[in-house]
Every structure is written in C-alpha cells, then in structure tokens.
Amino acid sequence: MAAPSRRLFGTNGVRGVVNRELTPEFVLLLTEAIGTFFGRSKILVGWDGRTSSPILSDLVASGLMSAGCTVYELGMAPTPAVQYLAKAGGFNGAVMVTASHNPPEYNGIKVMDFTGVEIPPEGELAIEKIYFKKQMALRDWNSLGEKLPAQDRLEAYRRAIMERVDQDVIRRSRFKVVVDAANGVGSLTTPYLCRELGCEVVTINSHIDGTFPGRLPEPTPANLDSLCRTVRSVGADVGVAHDGDADRAIFVDEKGQVHWGDMSFALIAEHYLKQGGGREVVTPVSSSQVIEDIASKYGGKVVWTPVGSPYVSRTMIARGAGLGGEENGGIFYAPHIPVRDGGMATALMLEVMATAGERLSTLTDRLPRYFNIKDKVPCPSRLKSRVLRQVKKEAEGYRVETTDGLKIWHRDRSWILIRPSGTEPVYRLFAEARSKEEAERLSSRYKAVISRAVKRNVRRS
C-alpha cells in the first residue's frame, strides 16, 4: 500500500515555509498544474487563518482560473468543512490552503476530489508530472475561469454534523464545554455547533490570528495548559482543543486531564460498536491496542493502516467501514464524510458522554491502561532504508509487521513502531506497554539499535 514516491506532495498535501519553499511563483505554477489536472470544472477553495493564507488563496484562485476552472471562494473555513461542502455541493474538487498543525511560518496546499477526500497518490503524481514537464494548459482570454462567492455555507456544514448525532440526548445533558480553537478556523464552527447542541460554551484562543498568540496550533498536552485550567476553573464537563485547521480534536475531562486521541477514539468506537453502527473500525498502526481491546469486547474488528489520514480515509471507503480514528485526535465518521473532522468528533464525544450519562474521566478510567512513549532518532534520509533492514535483523525471533516501517511485538503485548519520518531526517519511535518502565525500556533499546546502525553506515559511506 506504500505510495509511489512523490516530489512535491507529502502525506497531507504540499507543505513548506512561506516565501522559502512556498514562494508565490511556485504556488501559482503548482495551482496552474492542479487546474490543468481538473480541466474545466467547479472547484471550491477555502483557507485557514494563517498570515500567508490571503496571499496564497489569491494565487490558488488565479492559477485555477487561468487553467479554466471556475473558483468558488468559501473563504476562511475548517479543512473538514471544505471537504464536506465539496462533496455536498456537487463540486468537482476542492483546494484548501492550510498547514494544519505546523508552526506559523508554514502553509500548504491540499487537493480534494469530488468526494471531498484527498485525491489519491496517482492524482498527485499526475499533477507533479504536469508541473515538472511544464504542461500547464492555460486558456485563452475568452475561456478563462470565473471567481464566484461561496460564503455562508458553514451553517450547512454544522447542520450536517448535527444530523448525525442524537441532538435530544445531547441537549438534555446541558453540557458546559470549553473550546480552544488555537486561534484557528475551528472558532468559526465548533463554538456555534456546541451552542446549537444546547451546550453552554466558553471559548479560549478563539479569535482568528495567524501568529497563534494563544498557543501553537498542534494540540499536544504541552500546549493545552490554559484549556485544562479553564475547564477546571469554570467547572466545565469537557474541553476540546483543535489544531489550526480543526480536523483534529483532543479532549480534556472535567478534572482538567488531557486524553490523547486514541483514548477518545476508543470511547467513540465503543459507542459506535455498541449502537450497532458497523463492525469495522480503521486506524493506523501507531494507535494504541486499547482500540483492539474495545473492538474485540464488542465483536468488532480493527483494520490497521499505514500512518497518515488519507490512508485511513481510503481504507474506510474501500471496505465500507463507518468509523476511523488516529492517535493524534483525528476522527473519521463515514455517514458524514470519511475524512477527519474536529467538529464531527466533538459532536460524537458529546453524544458518547450524554448517552452514557457519565463524566468523561469515569469513562476513560474504565478503558484498559497502556503506557506510551514517543521518541525520535536522527538518521540521514539516504540511509533510512538500509538502517531499517539492519534493525529488522536485530528483531529476529519477534513478531514483526511491516504495514508502515517496522512494528515489533515483544512479550505481554508490548510493541514498538519504528518508522522513517517523511519530512525530517529522523526515525520516529512509538512504544506501548502495560507499564511505563517497559515502554521506556523498549524505546531506549531500539533507539540504541538504530543509533548503532546509523553510526556503522555513516562510517562506511
């Protein structure tokens, strides 16, 4: 299932630092290539709240129109809203200007097809070919694309989410919710969505500001101190933190404890399987076994994918699976749209809490407990595949899976995932075990194995 190698597109579109990798000239040529790929068609364009998004979205519109596409400008919107509206509005595709959770100096271009899902790797390769071979088909003056407004559609997106949950049971619970939108586009939808679901809403970091003055756009526990404090001080039932483009949601319980994405996914999966929503749940190999425990308890089945949200979406579509999730807080709900959606995740979590009639901390306490360690080891990109082969040899005797990188299983269901980063010269390590000590032991053992292999190969090359 590994993607053929692409030169511009990464796991989630084309990303880079603005005016360094992502220069205006490059973005214009790239979107001329994207427009050529789509041909004469209706393309929805949205953007996040980054300082560079107004510049890039104008370039995107210009590139698409010069290739004959009609551009419908949605304006600032969460990525999942653009994806849902691309599908529901009968567009041929969509382009989103966003760098998701990356630091403020980054931005990116994400391309979706008429289903609202990221175009497959073959499509990305086709766009790259047009770009590198300079085969952009620019139109004459009398067949250029137009630019039309497509604002005021965010309400339709919110309504679509609300239709997928039990609104009455949520409204009866009269939850108090704190929303931390990371000064990003989630502030345009999630606070309103929660209010429409009968919640009392407190917001923090919810004015859009591309300098991200409140916190960095990645909702890691280290960035969520003020959310945790606010949840406790206002006596909220739950806090929700988005990344910069609101396709991810991380939840904080009423005690102010952050629960990482695979725990909230486990709760949503439990609810989904119990309610007879479907049998299969889809998740990348980096997720906790807690998903497997929950699935087997309710007669469900976990389908494991490589790491990256497009893999989860495509696997869900191919298998007709209804629910997917990622350890980073991505929840994919196919009845709405099989892409990760922070607003949909929030509504589902409210439904889980309301249906159970219990506090979020009680629900998470009941889940099987595992300990996770994340780490990384430097490794020059050119040595990555050679090093991985040598590490695999050292894991002889253990069960090894190769869905993505190496997943090595040790005793008592502890495991370590070793995968090359697609963007940095490092190996990423994810270890999980029943105790913190065992997870740390696994992580440092393989860290040492990789470092030794890197050193050997550096000396040789």
Q: Which residues bind Mg ion (CB under 5 A)?
A: 100, 243, 245, 247
The residue of the chain with the least Cβ separation from Mg ion equals 100
Q: Which residues pair with 373 in a beta bridge?
A: 431
**With respect to Mg ion, which residue has the nearer C-beta, 278 or 324?**
324
Compare residues 278 and 306 and give the one whose CB is closer to Mg ion: 306
Catalytic residue among 52, 62, 100, 443: 100
| Cα–Cα distance, 112 to 42 (Å, whole number) | 12
Closest CB to Mg ion among 11 and 361? 11
Q: How far is the CB of 328 from Mg ion (least distance, A)?
A: 9
Tokens standing for residue 7: 């030169």
Question: H/E element holding 356?
Answer: helix 342-356
Residues 6+ apart with CB under 8 A from 248: 101, 219, 242, 261, 326, 328, 329, 330, 340, 342, 345
Q: In whole angstroms, how close is the CB of 244 to Mg ion at the nearest point?
A: 6
390: CB partners within 8 A, 6+ apart? 453, 456, 457
* Nearest CB to Mg ion, comparing residues 329 and 420: 329
Of 53 and 100, the one with the shorter C-beta distance to Mg ion is: 100
Least distance from Mg ion to the Cβ atom of residue 96, Å: 10
Least distance from Mg ion to the Cβ atom of residue 102, Å: 9
Closer residue to Mg ion in complex, CB, 206/364? 206
Q: Among candidates 80, 96, 93, 88, which has minimal Cα distance to 14? A: 96
∠ Cα 253 254 259 (to 5°): 10
Q: What minimum distance in Å lies between the beta carbon of 349 and Mg ion?
A: 17
> Phi then psi for 247, rounded to 5 degrees?
-95, -10
Q: Write down the least CB distance from residue 250 to Mg ion, Å.
A: 12
DSSP conformational letter for 369: P
Collapsing DSSP to helix, strand or coil, 184 comes out as coil
In the complex with Mg ion, the residue whose CB is nearer, 243 or 326, is: 243
Sheet bearing 93-97, strands edge to edge: 14-17, 106-113, 93-97, 42-47, 70-76, 147-149
Active site residue 100: yes
Contact call for residues 303 and 320 (beta carbons, < 8 A): no
Give how far Cα 231 sits from Cα of 84, 137, 234, Å. Answer: 30, 53, 6
* Beta carbon of residue 248, minimum distance to Mg ion (angstroms, whole number): 5
- Reading phi first (left if > 0) and then psi (alpha if -120 to 50, else beta), residue 18 is in beta
Question: Which residues belong to the active site?
Answer: 100
